[in-house]
Amino acid sequence: MGRTIEDRQYCAQDYEKFNKRIHDQVDILKEVIAGPNFGKEETCIGAELELYLMDEKSNVSPVNLQLIEMLDDPQFVAEINQYNLELNLSPYPAAGKPFTSLTDEMLTKFNTLWDTAAKIGTRPLATGILPTLEERHLTSQYMTNEGRYHVLARELRKMRGGPFHIHIDGEDEIDFKTSEICVEGANTSFQVHLMVEKEKFANTFNAAQLTLPLSLGISANSSVFFGNTLWDETRVALFKQSMDVRISDTRPWRAPARVNYGQGWIRDGAWELFAEAVNIYQPLFPQLFDEEEGDGLPELAELNLHMGTIWPWNRAVYSNSGKGHLRIEFRALPSGPTAIDMAANSAFMIGMATGLEGKIEEYLPRIPFRFSEYNFYSAARKGLDATILWPQNYQHKPTEVPIRNIIDQMLQVSYDGLAKLGVEEGEREKHLNIILRRLQLDITPAKWQRLTYQHLQRKMDKKKACQAMVDLYFKFQMEGQPVTEWDTIWK
């Protein structure tokens, strides 16, 4: 999706050629992965951070292209809405202090961004959904003027054939229909990448799927949308519904959504995820590219483009860089609230996936995939207050237990998993202690937002309370301490 996409109409022949190309490329990928030197690279961790831009009154500031020009830094790129930016962070070796390196780079880039944005009355904010966002901000008037976004909007509307239905309930409820693709852009995330050995990919990916509800529940950060308190991670429901091109009909089956938790436990390796994407999902951007000639591995540009138009919460990524490698892109973590919080979230998540990799076959027969999917949505809805289905020793079926109990158990698994990657002991303790403290204090970013907002609502109307909460959030984000150290004005 990082490539330049022309804003043009596509014909049936374009789709036919593109479809043939990606089927050919998925066969090529199988051969590439099987190569003896493929993936023989140092394991690295990287991330992409999506940000909001807001004005001095905590409303959206649609200036992303102007700000990018002022920054003159290729690591900052535009997102679908004019009030969003993405920061592409550098990859760091997993061995040593990768999460400290990510934190330091985020802070360095943040400082430059904040200084530059202040010159045009703009403040960057890292949060899953901007609480002061209004429905009028989710229209084409606010869409970034780039070809790929115009094509994306047109093709999704064409597939859907009607408006998207957004219905999310929580303590409050929202229910509306829209034909605007900009609703998708309301979601901002911290997408973490982990290079994985091809032989361990299936086990690591399944472990990442199984433990994803745990990292999401402790990290949730989007509990307020349109001034309503909804899910702890409202982003999960909003993203799925805003990109759901499926139309209900009389058939007894329904195609999978493009935003999804997955189709089942994978059996052999990464290739089946690419093959699944090619065979299940209709292409959105049937644009062909010239393959670069050279001695290196093939880029497979069309296949990577197609994979970028399907949005599972964990995604397989292929790169032809160097000797080539496979990555897991963890897509479920929200943006914010601070650099150290995001680093801790990623450490906990990566540690669990790596720590359970060698034991995952003990879990899979004991927990059907649909139960794990239930856990994911339960964690998104309730955060630390969720209950999930989890296999217990000497019982014939998973038992519904508080998610906080399993998170507590998994801290040691994560610690051991990070050790397998060569992460230094002090680095492990520093970041996992942040997760432990959230458990001990019963606080997450989403809970801080919700309780602060509800406390302020007792003193002022919803709009002013929302702005006041965002102003407090921004103040504490700028100070840089973990959310557990923020003032709790509701107590």
pLDDT tens digits for 239-251? 999 988 776 655 6
Q: Could you list the residue range(s) of the whole structural domain that residue 273 is in?
A: 12-440
Does 476 reside within a domain?
no
Full pLDDT tens readout for the chain, 491 residues: 456 777 788 899 999 999 999 999 999 999 999 999 999 999 999 999 999 999 999 999 999 999 999 999 999 999 999 999 999 999 999 999 999 999 999 999 999 999 999 999 999 999 999 999 999 999 999 999 998 888 888 888 888 778 889 999 999 999 999 988 899 999 999 999 999 999 999 999 999 999 999 999 999 999 999 999 999 999 999 999 998 877 665 566 677 889 999 999 999 999 999 999 999 999 988 999 887 666 789 999 999 999 999 999 999 999 999 999 999 999 999 999 999 999 999 999 999 999 999 999 999 999 999 999 999 999 999 999 999 999 887 776 788 999 999 999 999 999 999 999 999 999 999 999 999 999 999 999 999 999 999 999 999 999 999 999 999 999 999 999 999 999 999 98
Dist CA 53 CA 82 (whole Å): 8
Tell me if residue 89 falls in helix, strand or coil: coil
DSSP 5: -
* pLDDT tens-place string over residues 441-453: 999 999 999 999 9
- Sign (positive/negative) of CA torsion 87, 90, 95, 97? negative
Residues 6+ apart with CB under 8 A from 429: 415
Dist CA 476 CA 102 (whole Å): 20
Distances (CA, A) of 349 to 91, 215, 458: 17, 6, 37
Q: Write the DSSP string, 125-149.
A: E--SS-TT--GGGGSGGGB---HHH
Dist CA 109 CA 139 (whole Å): 29
Using CA atoms of 333, 339, 345, 347 in order, give the dihedral in degrees to the nearest 10: 130
Quick one: pLDDT at residue 1? 47
Question: Kind of pairing, strands 259-260 and 311-312?
Answer: parallel
Residue 220, both tokens: 């949730």
Does 23 reside within a domain?
yes
Provide the number of structural domains found in the chain: 1
Whole-model pTM: value is: 0.96
Neighbours of 282 (CB within 10 A): 14
Dist CA 17 CA 286 (whole Å): 8
Does 483 reside within a domain?
no
CATH, residue 150: 3.30.590.20
Neighbours of 475 (CB within 10 A): 11
Residue 402: is it exposed, middle or buried by C-beta count within 10 angstroms (0-12/13-18/19+)? middle
Does 453 reside within a domain?
no
Does 83 reside within a domain?
yes
